[in-house]
Amino acid sequence: MIVRTAPAKVNLSLRVLRRREDGFHEIATRMAPLTLADGVKMEQIHGAADGTVAFTCNDPTIPGDDTNLAVKAVRALEKLAGPLPAVRIHLEKRIPHGAGLGGGSSDAAAVLLGMDELFSLSLPVSRLAEAAAGVGSDVPFFLHGCVCDCTGRGELVTPVPDFSWHPRILLVKPPFGVATPDAYRRWGTSREVPGLPYAEQQTPGGILMNDLERAVFEKIPVLGTLKACLLECEGVTAALMSGSGSTVFAVLEPSVNSAGIIDAVQREAGTELWCCDTAVR
């Protein structure tokens, strides 16, 4: 049996450069893995036909068919390495859905790495990245386990080995998700909502900014209000929406008590929020 963690991520920066001819968008983003993670277990099923994938999850709303990114990862690996023995995959889901935290993509990368180890394929990361890019734009990033700069549609990955900023981060996710295709579709025509914060923020880890905030805040202004509320809290040095949302994260001073920040945000938003005090790895 192989057990792997599948970390969440935040986008420390996200620039949308243009819409490409293939329908995707050209981006430049810096992504960082978090200590918040799903768990993925993989083991061979003896006596079952090659190519069989038995998928289970602690979250019954997660599909187990070929629409699941973890199962798609197996199919992509088969195209690269040939027929594979039957495998059982169990996913212990902790990263929330539709959050802009890359949970599904991270699960897929964990499956690629785990299957490579389980069946002694010994494929280099560069080859696994070929399979990963066909599963999803963020999947290649999660093969590296470190802060990376990503370009293209996100699949061209350059690790940042000298990244030394390790802040505490508070993740705040409202009880709804944001559809990534819709956020990108609205990017070209969206406008800033007066009074909401969009300015670049200088940090020891570089400039924090997200071009998709304009598109998402215009449609769902409560997320912009949430960001503004975090920025006003004592002990918060920066705040940003991650990816296409709906998670907004706050960079915390090392000694601040995050419970007070959570209380302030919940009072402002007037709803239950999913919060996780974590740290960039």
Q: Which of 159, 179, 200 is the last residue in one of the domains?
A: 159
- Are 177 and 111 part of one and the same domain? no
Residue 90 has pLDDT above 70, yes or no: yes
For residues 29 and 157, give the distance between their C-alpha atoms in angstroms, rounded to a whole number. 10
Instruction: Give residue 206's pLDDT band: very low, low, confident or very high (50, 70, 90).
Output: very high
Burial class (CB in 10 A: 0-12, 13-18, 19+), 179: exposed
Q: Which of 159, 186, 209 is the last residue in one of the domains?
A: 159
- Are 67 and 32 part of one and the same domain? yes
Q: What is the Cα 269 distance to its own chain's centre?
A: 23
Q: Give the 3-state secondary structure of residue 212.
A: helix
Q: Which of 159, 180, 195 is the last residue in one of the domains?
A: 159
User: Among the options 38, 116, 138, 149, which is catalytic?
Assistant: 138
The parent domain of residue 252 ranges over: 168-279
* 72 is an active site residue: no
- Are 130 and 173 part of one and the same domain? no
* 22 is an active site residue: no
Whether residue 241 contacts residue 247, with contact meaning beta carbons closer than 8 Å, is answered with yes
pLDDT digits (tens, 9 = 90+) for 33-48: 999 999 999 999 999 9
- Are 124 and 190 part of one and the same domain? no
Residue 273 has pLDDT above 80, yes or no: no
pLDDT digits (tens, 9 = 90+) for 253-270: 988 888 889 888 888 776
Instruction: Give residue 13's pLDDT band: very low, low, confident or very high (50, 70, 90).
Output: very high
pLDDT of residue 272: 65
- Are 216 and 194 part of one and the same domain? yes
What is the CATH number for 253? 3.30.70.890
